[in-house]
Chain A
Amino acid sequence: MKRCKAEECFFKALMIGSTVAILGSLVLILATVVWRGLPALNLAMLTQTPKGGYYLGKEGGILNAIVGSLFLALGATVLALIASLPIAMYLNLYAARSRQAELARLALDVLWGVPSIVYGAVGFTIMLWLGVRASLLGGIIALALLELPIMARGMDEAIAMIPCALKEASYALGATRLETAWKVVVRQTAPALLTAALLAFGRGIGDAASVLFTAGYTDRLPNSLLGPVASLPLAVFFQLGTPFPAVKERAYASALVLTAIVLGISLISRRLAGRLTEHVIR
């Protein structure tokens, strides 16, 4: 009996220890990025594009990358939203509990696991096929492919949670499935849909491997859908790759900006989810 008790205590301590260690790694990562990034961060970095000699340590900032990343992620999120909301509706209202829906969920789950570098390579082959060079459009396509399964499955899960009685009430009033989808389901799940979209946005803005192939890089602000565009993750990566300490410092600051944007979006989505509830029936 005593041995049982000792074993229980041992494993419980091990479990608490590993939970603390994993949460500690989060704290450690955030602390490292803040501690090293904050000293290098200044207003010029956020409000200027790179000037001549920026990558040797001269004046300028990463506004091109910040704006570029926002454009890329925004475009990709809109594109993914257009595809994933209908898919989620189809899975729950039209094909509920069918083999087709099961297959589609499996495919989306598998797509979720596909590495972003593969999305980059696929986006690249699509661009070769379309005859487009590395551009904002190419980056948006690759990121939209990456975001689609995340968003579609998130929305699917949210819509699956709504009570059956609500749908039945709508059908009983003579509404078609389409009307039920737009007038009942969307309003009922609005907070969760928004959370799914923002989650995908955060994933998209932080992804480097898929835009590496498809979006290119430029020191100018994006001005055309077919021109190359800078992005924050690549700004971090390229600046870290230079041998100059001053530029490396800026890479840390850029990483801090990126982290702040991603965490900010995650916090905002949690806040907004509680706000958009005026049409939600409990």
Chain B
Amino acid sequence: MENALGSIRDKSWKPTWRTALRLSRPAKDRLAARLLAWLTMAAVASVPLMALALYLRARPILSFKPLTELLLSTAWHPLKGAFGFYPFIMGTLWVTGAAMAIAVPPSLLTAIYLAEYASPKTRALAKPLIDLLAGIPSVVYGVWGVLTVVPLIERIAPTLDRWLGYIPLFRVDNPTGYSVLAGGLVLAVMVFPVIIAVAEEVIRAVPQGLREASLALGATRWQTVKHVVLRRSLPGVIAAVVLGFSRAFGETMAVLMVVGNIAQVPHSIFDAAYPLPALIANNYGEMMSIPLYDAALLGAALILLLIVLLFNLVSRLVLMRVARSE
């Protein structure tokens, strides 16, 4: 400070870059506060900005066709200008639904086990391994699906058809193994770590006093879990499941590799499907050469983004409330 004033009094002083940057320490701190606030707000703003950018790109198709027709029409002929997203939306829902049906029970049981029953040693061993599962790249899941899951389904499909074929949900019309079920199985393994990590944290956050009170009344450990711990942590556990759902909803590469990619509305878990993310990824190459195609695909990305944002926002708000109340 003194130095800077001294140099101003000096007649030969000339402003240079170096002197201009010589701010006092509190001034630097205030400047940093301003800059960091802007940077952080830019990160916050990027959520609506991403939606806006996609909306602007998708607008041509929204003004060309009414939204209800885009969402509910089954006709997908980009060359003729017919863009019906219905089969793709249904494909996404089928695959995600199958994944959740497979993933939710074991991951919740594992979360309860790790939070309530496992010894600290078991936890310390199992948690990093489950985190490892979250780190495996999606194409590797896809390769695993192609090598293991698809042949397995191809092998068991005829047997299942004989036993359960009278139920439409299990009828086998597609013997290849590339099916909703294959996508669901691969996705289920991918969302295990998401659900387990969040659910375990929520369950562990239940106050110890509640457990002790229940145990002191003579309840067994499982009764305590069932009637006290799970009841208390239910909102958070549901939020964990919803987070897993939204992760599965937007997953692209692994699903694309095993699900068959036929633009139809699936009627059985053995049918092929064509989810929205796979549609975008498969057709990015030619989308600039057909009119309105790029608008349609970026519109599909917008639909995906909005649905995932909604689910994420709701479950994060629930989790924040849970964290505050504990």
Q: Which of A25, A108, A118 contacts B305 (CB 8 A)?
A: A118
Of the A-B pairs whose beta carbons lie under 8 Å apart in the complex, a sample of 27, sorted by A's number, is A8-B221, A15-B112, A19-B109, A22-B107, A100-B37, A104-B43, A107-B44, A110-B313, A111-B43, A111-B47, A113-B250, A113-B309, A115-B249, A116-B250, A117-B281, A124-B284, A125-B57, A125-B298, A178-B25, A178-B28, A179-B29, A209-B252, A212-B281, A236-B143, A237-B257, A255-B139, A255-B140
Q: Which A27-61 residues have C-beta < 8 A from chain B? A: 28-29, 32-33, 36
**Contact indicator A255/B143 (Cβ below 8 Å):** yes
Which residues from B are CB-within-8-Å of A11?
109, 222
B19 at interface by CB-CB < 8 Å: no
Which of A159-167, A219-227, A259-267, A274-282 is the contact stretch? A259-267
Q: How large is the interface on A (under 10, 10 to 19, 20 to 34, 35 or more residues)?
A: 35 or more
Which residues from B are CB-within-8-Å of A109?
312, 316
Closest-by-CB residue of A relative to B309 is A110
**Contact indicator B43/A29 (Cβ below 8 Å):** no
With A83-B39, A104-B43, A237-B253 as given contacts, are A29 and B140 in contact (CB-CB < 8 Å)?
A: yes
Which of B10-18, B76-84, B144-152, B162-170 is the contact stretch? B144-152
Q: Which of A107, A114, A118 contacts B43 (CB 8 A)?
A: A107
Distance A16 CA – B53 CA, assembled complex (angstroms): 47
A21 at interface by CB-CB < 8 Å: yes
Give 1 or 0 for each of B296-309: 1 = CB within 8 Å of chain A CB. 01100100110011
**Contact indicator B220/A8 (Cβ below 8 Å):** yes
Which of B128-136, B175-183, B203-211, B265-273 is the contact stretch? B128-136
Q: Which B26-67 residues have C-beta < 8 A from chain A? A: 26, 28-29, 32-33, 35-37, 39-41, 43-44, 46-47, 50, 53-54, 56-57
The smallest beta-carbon distance between B99 and chain A, in angstroms, is 13
> Which A positions have Cβ atoms within 8 angstroms of B?
4-5, 7-8, 11-12, 14-19, 21-23, 25-26, 28-29, 32-33, 36, 83, 86-87, 89-91, 94-95, 100, 102-104, 106-111, 113-118, 120-122, 124-126, 128-129, 145, 148-149, 152, 176-179, 199, 202-203, 205-209, 212-213, 233, 236-237, 240, 251-252, 255, 258-259, 262-263, 266, 270
The smallest beta-carbon distance between A205 and chain B, in angstroms, is 8
**Contact indicator B304/A115 (Cβ below 8 Å):** yes
**Contact indicator A19/B113 (Cβ below 8 Å):** yes
Q: Which of A86, A102, A262 contacts B36 (CB 8 A)?
A: A86
